[in-house]
Chain A
Amino acid sequence: MALRELKVCLLGDTGVGKSSIVWRFVEDSFDPNINPTIGASFMTKTVQYQNELHKFLIWDTAGQERFRALAPMYYRGSAAAIIVYDITKEETFSTLKNWVKELRQHGPPNIVVAIAGNKCDLIDVREVMERDAKDYADSIHAIFVETSAKNAININELFIEISRRIPSTDANLPSGGKGFKLRRQPSEPKRSCC
């Protein structure tokens, strides 16, 4: 069985549940008071997809605005980016849009973008309509799913969908739906390492 390493980064506003999604996926546990991520944290999990083993190298980034300056270090070379927003907070959805733009400008070409509307267990205080988000995701050809890290809803599905969308190695064709169309970046900003 072939083993593929897939670098995935999580982006999104602070407190939307990026780390919780990762924890749910990797450890299958939930802690309401998880430490705010500083810089980024790193985790891995291997899952089987069809006849391949996908090893996810997950970079979970810090959400606070000022940590955005560091984000390029993490999303560079990523196969996929999961942009998370909080369905109970409208402004986190606007932040998400900014992330999409930044990825378009600076992110790797053909990066698979997934939009996750987290905290879908809190339906009573919803601020972002599923319809609106879905429409937006479709407009940029991104995966869309509403998740709940707390109740383990759609977390694994999210990663399975990413696996599906990652272009397979043997043929350079997309195995599933369409990839995220990005205009190619003419030159990467120069870095001494990586």
Chain B
Amino acid sequence: MPGAGARAEEGGGGGEGAAQGAAAEPGAGPAREPARLCGYLQKLSGKGPLRGYRSRWFVFDARRCYLYYFKSPQDALPLGHLDIADACFSYQGPDEAAEPGTEPPAHFQVHSAGAVTVLKAPNRQLMTYWLQELQQKRWEYCNSLDMVKWDSRTSPTPGDFPKGLVARDNTDLIYPHPNASAEKARNVLAVETVPGELVGEQAANQPAPGHPNSINFYSLKQWGNELKNSMSSFRPGRGHNDSRRTVFYTNEEWELLDPTPKDLEESIVQEEKKKLTPEGNKGVTGSGFPFDFGRNPYKGKRPLKDIIGSYKNRHSSGDPSSEGTSGSGSVSIRKPASEMQLQVQSQQEELEQLKKDLSSQKELVRLLQQTVRSSQYDKYFTSSRLCEGVPKDTLELLHQKDDQILGLTSQLERFSLEKESLQQEVRTLKSKVGELNEQLGMLMETIQAKDEVIIKLSEGEGNGPPPTVAPSSPSVVPVARDQLELDRLKDNLQGYKTQNKFLNKEILELSALRRNAERRERDLMAKYSSLEAKLCQIESKYLILLQEMKTPVCSEDQGPTREVIAQLLEDALQVESQEQPEQAFVKPHLVSEYDIYGFRTVPEDDEEEKLVAKVRALDLKTLYLTENQEVSTGVKWENYFASTVNREMMCSPELKNLIRAGIPHEHRSKVWKWCVDRHTRKFKDNTEPGHFQTLLQKALEKQNPASKQIELDLLRTLPNNKHYSCPTSEGIQKLRNVLLAFSWRNPDIGYCQGLNRLVAVALLYLEQEDAFWCLVTIVEVFMPRDYYTKTLLGSQVDQRVFRDLMSEKLPRLHGHFEQYKVDYTLITFNWFLVVFVDSVVSDILFKIWDSFLYEGPKVIFRFALALFKYKEEEILKLQDSMSIFKYLRYFTRTILDARKLISISFGDLNPFPLRQIRNRRAYHLEKVRLELTELEAIREDFLRERDTSPDKGELVSDEEEDT
């Protein structure tokens, strides 16, 4: 450790004016998940004379438990990463030799993958924050490993963005904790956190607390304060290297907001309260021992996090006292306060003792005075009698009185004796008090000596001998210098305690993790062998099948073959039965019943289809598993969001490319909502805020021609998705609301079959109102006019445009279709009208929708062409219209490789100018219009006949039925 310390010094001396920041909270907005860990740290790197600290932007990626570092938050490619999952951490204790008031070194070591990386945080508090968080992340990650469900393709971070139906669908992901005992062991130290949870309450001016386990910077304002405060702790003259200058890194978007005076006042009041309350408590409990760390409110048995937490509270409140005390040269803010308390406490103790003495003595004096008064009275009485001079008959009386006097004197004597003894007692008591005082002093001295011993022991030989401690006088009021020294030592002690605690926790945690890892390994071995067994089984089945196939099949005598195949089929389709959880883990769980979007992976009925679906699900899984090996796009997204800390997401080529590759499941709600908001801004500006609610209210009050059809179609919308499977499910209700509201918004369309599927897909990731606006986006912004209206004019036009594009982009295929008189637009019509819902596998569907919602309807053309191009060769092999149609009917669902499809649609098909589509549309629009007028004439003919017939149009009868 001393070596590392030396390196740190050298790094600091580099004086490169290193940019420093701290952990920042990107993805601004209080709704963001609190668990994000990123920020600036300095990394020791380079060789020889170039060796020094360089500022890097660190981002923790929870998926792989890597701590990536980038040159800047805007970078897309990391410079490297540290594997936190198998890392252990340590840090340097307080530097004994340092001047009092020196900030302890804020660097720590990460031992990972056989290498030691030295990182330096801007200050000590942030270092502990980082360490704590990294420990936490490591723990979470290692435990989540136990639970890995390959089917649920979500990152360990659960859906913090509660939007849409899919997001709410986290029940699968909530699993019991694997080993409570390990958790317990780990929490041995964390047990003390319980009171620490009150940190948030103590600082009432803190905004709503987020994740209970982590400290975050909730707002930029606080963030600014944080920076300011850390700056104040780097006051000039306090650094251990005089040349050390601190420059804070800020993005131009970041601004440092000063706390308003009111905030400051409030925080001062808070601070006062904090100081007062514990003192009050002390008065009540009142043990005479002044050096009781445990009862100190600001230090002692609280875990690191809470200490930091309380720091933060105070820092964030812009506490001026912190600056004041740090200016006076004490090491930290909390120390002098506690010292003062200790003194006051002991003095109070003494005062009380003395008061008690005083009152007892007063009592004694009062008693004595009484006695004296009564004897004086007696005396007076006797003497008055004597003066009267009645010797004869009073002689006896006199004698009697003499006796009395005698008795009284003796009594007096007795009393005086008593008094003396009492005085004696008082004296002994006084001396006792003195003794006790002395004892007190001695005890204090002992404590100090003990402290020193502890410090010496823990310092080892690395640090010089502590400066001589002035022998503490019996007096409780110490000399200022000694007190300072004492403060420093105690501070160090505290530092060591923290470090010790940290290291203990580290050890505990590491051993727990090791146990976990062992158990996991055992489990994995078991799983591996069961997989191997399964493989063998499948291999043998396969061979049997081959054997059966090899022998010439005679149509009459195919009994055994049939049997074998039937048996194999049965085995293949067998649904994995529900087993005990522990067994379920060991058992290879290949395909779950629903995918993450809630779609059934294997249909319930229809054997034929079932087998195909199972094959498809297995293929998808294979794809996913191989894809997972590569660096995930997740990091790119994380980084993108990190770069949008304080500004709106904006259209950019970078974002476009990210979206084209597909938005990760956990970000989809956010990005979709953003896209929809962007496209509908112009509408929203023109309508009152409650537009959707108003429409919905209207729709619920009265029916329109569309409502009946909507009702009819609700349960027929995505019936294979669990969110829409029963009339009472949330999805159905929302679907109804959105469609009804839209039918009132756009009476020209009202309701067109197909809109229900668009809404249903949107609702999977968006809230009701956003889904409504999503529908508005698609129908009123993206699609040309009359796409969904009475004659579907726009849709018909688009099919002709598409045909033109086919002949241009895929001339061979187009020719092939022409040759066999296959009108593929009969099939593709669907794709356009419902944007591929039910046409492609769900993974691809949502990726298409990602770029569709960002870029608009051109994406449909791109993907429609890409689907054909993907299977061009297969289609060209087919030689009759029937088989071509048959193939076209289902081929889209056989395409599973989203990457390939995406690279075709956005790469191979370029150039793809929108202008061309627009021109083509205009051209065909006229042609289709002409053709339609002919049909329209006939239809009007029908309608006239119908109107004259006794049963009127549906519209009227609807109204009548409902009233």
Contacts and interface: CB of A to CB of B under 8 A. Distances in A.
Interface of A: 5, 14-15, 27, 29, 31-44, 55, 57, 59, 62-70, 72-74, 90-91, 94, 98, 101-102, 105-106, 189-190, 192-194
Contacts of B111: none
A27 B938 contact: no
A31 B756 CA distance: 19
Given A29-B605, A35-B719, A55-B882, A189 B709 contact: no
Contacts of B834: 38
A102 B935 CA distance: 9
Given A36-B756, A37-B753, A66-B791, 5 more contacts: A38-B833, A55-B882, A65-B790, A74-B826, A102-B938
Contacts of A63: 753
B934 interface: yes
B712 A15 contact: yes
Given A64-B709, A73-B823, A101-B942, A35 B829 contact: no
A55 B882 CA distance: 10
B715 A33 contact: yes
Interface in B779-833: 788-793, 796, 800, 803, 818, 821, 823, 825-827, 829-830, 833
Contacts of A40: 826, 829
B716 A35 contact: yes
B781 to A, nearest CB: 21
B941 to A, nearest CB: 8
B170 interface: no
Q: Is the interface of A mostly helix, strand, loop or mixed?
A: mixed
B833 A39 contact: yes
B889 A193 contact: no
A64 B753 contact: yes
Contacts, number: 118
B717 A189 contact: no
Interface string B873-887: 000000000100110
A42 to B, nearest CB: 5
A190 B827 CA distance: 20
B889 A64 contact: no
Contacts of A190: 931
8 contacts: A27-B608, A29-B606, A42-B827, A43-B889, A64-B709, A68-B939, A69-B790, A193-B818
B946 interface: yes
Nearest to A55: B882
A164 B800 CA distance: 38
Q: Which of A55, A64, A189, A192 has the most CB of B within 10 A?
A: A64
B954 A91 contact: yes
Given A31-B605, A69-B932, A106 B938 contact: yes
Contacts of B932: 69
Interface string B832-865: 0110001000000000000000000000000000
Nearest to A44: B886
Interface in B935-963: 935, 938-939, 942, 945-946, 949, 951, 954, 957
Contact of A66 (B719, B790, B886): B790
Contacts of B715: 32-33
B792 A67 contact: yes
Contacts of B833: 38-39
B847 to A, nearest CB: 21
A39 B715 CA distance: 19
Interface residues on B, range: 35 or more
B526 interface: no
B882 A14 contact: no
Contacts of B945: 101
Contacts of B954: 91
Given A69-B796, A94-B951, A39 B882 contact: no
Interface string B472-490: 0000000000000000000
A49 B254 CA distance: 80
Contact of A42 (B752, B789, B826): B826
B823 A193 contact: yes
B792 A70 contact: yes
Nearest to B793: A69
Contact of B823 (A15, A69, A94, A194): A194
A193 to B, nearest CB: 5
Contacts of A27: 606, 608
Closest 3 CB pairs of A and B: A39-B829, A33-B719, A194-B823
Given A42-B827, A44-B882, A36 B719 contact: no
A38 B935 contact: no
Contacts of B754: 36, 38
B889 A41 contact: yes
Interface of B: 605-606, 608, 709, 712-713, 715-719, 752-754, 756-757, 788-793, 796, 800, 803, 818, 821, 823, 825-827, 829-830, 833-834, 838, 882, 885-886, 888-889, 931-932, 934-935, 938-939, 942, 945-946, 949, 951, 954, 957
Contacts of A72: 935
Contacts of B942: 98, 101-102
Given A57-B885, A193-B818, A193-B823, A70 B829 contact: yes
Given A38-B754, A57-B885, A106-B938, A94 B949 contact: yes
Contacts of B888: 42
A136 B841 CA distance: 45
A35 B882 CA distance: 24
Contacts of A62: 753
A47 to B, nearest CB: 15
A31 B605 CA distance: 9
A121 B838 CA distance: 30
B951 A57 contact: no
Contacts of B793: 69
B931 A189 contact: yes
B791 A69 contact: yes
Contacts of B886: 42, 44
Contacts of A44: 882, 885-886
A42 B889 contact: yes
A150 to B, nearest CB: 14
Contact of A34 (B716, B752, B931): B716
A62 B826 CA distance: 12
A33 B882 contact: no
Contacts of B717: 35-36
A44 B938 CA distance: 31
Contacts of B938: 102, 105-106
Contact of A70 (B709, B796, B882): B796
Nearest to A33: B719
A81 B514 CA distance: 72
Q: Which of B753, B830, B833 has the most CB of A within 10 A?
A: B753
A77 to B, nearest CB: 9
A23 B888 CA distance: 18
Contacts of B827: 39, 42
Contact of B830 (A33, A34, A39, A106): A39
B398 to A, nearest CB: 131
A128 to B, nearest CB: 12
Contacts of A34: 716, 719
A154 to B, nearest CB: 22
Contacts of A38: 753-754, 757, 829-830, 833-834
Contact of B882 (A5, A68, A102, A189): A5
